[in-house]
Structure 1
């Protein structure tokens, strides 16, 4: 899987699906890698061009050992699309990826065909909590927080019945560079998109987990209320990494949303034609 220079940052990415099909770009949660979308790509790549990438400081993307903002992460996404010659895309983000997606949609409204925000926030206090987390991983490593993070990402029944999947996510979390993770913690610490996101004009779907302690339903409802025309669905038996835990339902809602937009945006091409 290749890397490319985007916004001055070497970003690791993967493309799958037919050339010429509408592009769907996926932005990952803090502490995960592009593999968190493993269940979405097979469901979508028959008729969409799926672009995944590791956010800076995560996975196989470069670690930039300096302060970053959510605006910087949105600029990384813009740079990635520029480098790949992609003018417009559907943008899907979860957690930190959803924050990046919001900022990107504000800054580049003409480049967003559709916006899907999962388990995310426009503002996520308290700032001291994010600063403490950043300092802890820089001092003690990713191992110091992993056992507190996993129960927030998945419901107890999923942890009990899907041990292999949880173990894989845990292993990838531990492989992240603490400096890259800390920089993104501090980007969330300083983020406040509440006054900006009413400018979003893209068709928007919001997906919340009913059992998500990190970005609970009322927080997601706050985003929905600020974006004109946004739709929201709440998935039962889902915590924070709902694209993993409830992949079946996520894929169902993603395809329904994207296929509807495809019919509107490309009325001369049917969804069946895009499958070819």
Structure 2
């Protein structure tokens, strides 16, 4: 099982295909695992991975605190998630790569691009998560989790996480570290003994830092406006992937192509063709 240790945290990753490197930030919110590119809803239907790997070296990984990757109790930020991707490229000896984000992965990809612009050849932002309903839903999860902790304690969170097979996005009571609790008994023991007031401060801070706006969370708009990295933006159209979120990125990113096609028109044939068309054009111009 390929694993890289990044900032002391194990990151499970896979590579598929050959060609220019494409670092892929997975969809799936707090359960953003590499499997989601092939198994989750829209991405299963589009089969993007199966076609992109024919021309590019696709680098996929489980986001920290998700799937088979490890984690640590701390106030997480988009910068921390981007640093995981940067560390993975360094582990693989890749100096410059294309980025692709799906859903919440778009927030991480744009944060990566702002922090490490010289390491980014171009980026695909597919169905970016965002919008007022998305912000409200995410913040409500943190409120419900802290209410459960206040009533039942962290030891009960550990017990519940082991009892149910759900992540934070499906059951707010188990919290953002539920998958690490299930996989790592030593982590679970430390987690159960965490000082309650400090834990509440960490979680409240995460909610405020991660979901602070009614559009795509991540970099400040002024930072996006200074990027000269080619970007392809593909809109979503539901409560968690508002079309307004994609339009926000179109407004902020100065060097972008906006694929103005509804989700119903994004098919296995059309989506991969459009993404490859963009990546190949950027690669040829480099």
Decide: shared fold, TM above 0.5: yes
* Distance in 2 separating the partners of 1:2 and 1:33: 14
Q: 1:176 Cα shift?
A: 4.2
Larger Rg: 2
- The number of residue pairs the alignment matches comes to 231
- The one of 113, 117, 123 equivalent to 2:125 is 117
Match of 2:140 in 1: 132
* Distance in 2 separating the partners of 1:187 and 1:10: 24
- SS state at 1:99 partner: helix
- SS state at 2:124 partner: strand
User: More deviation in 61-70 or 39-48?
Assistant: 39-48
- The one of 8, 22, 44 equivalent to 2:52 is 44
* Distance in 1 separating the partners of 2:64 and 2:72: 7
Check the 8 A contact 1:124/1:189 in 2, yes or no. no
Q: 1:254 Cα shift?
A: 1.2
Q: 1:213 Cα shift?
A: 1.8
Q: What 5-or-longer segments of structure 1 have no aligned partner?
A: 149-174, 266-276
Check the 8 A contact 1:134/1:186 in 2, yes or no. no
Match of 2:42 in 1: none
- SS state at 1:195 partner: helix
Q: 1:147 to 1:78 in 2, by over 3 A?
A: closer
TM-score (ref. length: structure 1) = 0.72
- The one of 16, 41, 53 equivalent to 2:61 is 53
Check the 8 A contact 1:74/1:103 in 2, yes or no. yes
- The one of 102, 113, 118 equivalent to 1:94 is 102
What pairs with 1:50-199 in structure 2 (closer than 5 Å)? 50-120=58-128, 129-136=137-144, 139=148, 142=166, 146=170, 176=179, 188-190=210-212, 191-193=217-219, 194-199=221-226
Check the 8 A contact 2:65/2:179 in 1, yes or no. yes
- SS state at 1:34 partner: coil
Q: What 5-or-longer segments of structure 2 have no aligned partner?
A: 39-46, 149-159, 173-177, 182-187, 189-202
Check the 8 A contact 1:24/1:92 in 2, yes or no. yes
RMSD of aligned alpha carbons: 3.3
